[in-house]
C-alpha cells in the first residue's frame, strides 16, 4: 500500500511538471510571421520587371539599337503572354476554390488541371518564340548569355542550378 501511494505521488508530480512546462512553452512561443499576399500592385510589379529587364540588357551588353529592339520585343512578348497569365491566375483560383470545398468535384478539378496545362504550354511556346525573336538581333555571345539566363530561369525552383545561382535578379542586387 505504501509503495502504491509513493508511485501515485511520483506520477502526480511528473504530470504537474509536464503540464506546467507545456503551458509555459505555449505561452512564450514566438508569434507566427505575417504572411505577405502573393498579389502585388501593378506599379511595384512593373518597377521590378523593368529593373530585371535593365539588368538583363546590361548583362547582355546590348548597344543602343539592340536595346530598342529588345524593349520592343519585350513589349510584344508581354502583350501576348499577360492574358495567358491572367487566365492561369483565374484557373488556379477556381481550382483552389474547388479544393477548399467539403466535397470537391473531381470533374471540375480535372477540367481545371487540363486547362492549366494548355495555358502553360502556351507560355512555354511563347517563351521559345520570344527567345528565337531575340536571336535575330543578338550576336552569338549575347545569345549564349541569354540562353544561360533563360535556362536557369525556366528550371523548376532549385533544380539543375548551382547553389549560389539565384532565381530572380532582385536577389542578385549585390553582384
Confirm whether 41 is domain-assigned: no
CATH of the domain at 111: 1.20.120.1490
User: Cell 545569345 appears where?
Assistant: 143
Confirm whether 121 is domain-assigned: yes
Total of domains in the chain:
1
Please give the torsion angle defined by the CA atoms of residues 5, 11, 15 and 17, in that order, rounded to the nearest 10 degrees.
Answer: 90
Over residues 155-165, mean pLDDT: 55
Confirm whether 38 is domain-assigned: no
Domain that holds residue 79: 69-153
Give the model's confidence band at 49: pLDDT under 50 very low, under 70 low, under 90 confident, else very high: low
Confirm whether 52 is domain-assigned: no
Confirm whether 22 is domain-assigned: no
Is the pTM here over 0.75, yes or no? no
Confirm whether 126 is domain-assigned: yes
Confirm whether 158 is domain-assigned: no
Please give the torsion angle defined by the CA atoms of residues 59, 60, 65 and 69, in that order, rounded to the nearest 10 degrees.
Answer: -100
Least confident of 31-45, 78-92, 132-146: 31-45
Amino acid at each position: 500500500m505504501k509503495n502504491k501511494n509513493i508511485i501515485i505521488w511520483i506520477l502526480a508530480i511528473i504530470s504537474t511538471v509536464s503540464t506546467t512546462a507545456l503551458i509555459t512553452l505555449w505561452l512564450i512561443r514566438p508569434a507566427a510571421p505575417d504572411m505577405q499576399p502573393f498579389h502585388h500592385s501593378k506599379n511595384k510589379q512593373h518597377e521590378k520587371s523593368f529593373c530585371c529587364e535593365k539588368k538583363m540588357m546590361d548583362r547582355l551588353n546590348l548597344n543602343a539599337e539592340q536595346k530598342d529592339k529588345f524593349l520592343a520585343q519585350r513589349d510584344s512578348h508581354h502583350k501576348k503572354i499577360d492574358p495567358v497569365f491572367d487566365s492561369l491566375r483565374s484557373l488556379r483560383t477556381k481550382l483552389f476554390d474547388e479544393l477548399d470545398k467539403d466535397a470537391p468535384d473531381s470533374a471540375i478539378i480535372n477540367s481545371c488541371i487540363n486547362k492549366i496545362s494548355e495555358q502553360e504550354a502556351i507560355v512555354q511556346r511563347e517563351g521559345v518564340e520570344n527567345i528565337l525573336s531575340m536571336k535575330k538581333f543578338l550576336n552569338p555571345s549575347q545569345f549564349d548569355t541569354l540562353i544561360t539566363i533563360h535556362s536557369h530561369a525556366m528550371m523548376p525552383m532549385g533544380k539543375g542550378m548551382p547553389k549560389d545561382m539565384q532565381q530572380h535578379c532582385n536577389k542578385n542586387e549585390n553582384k
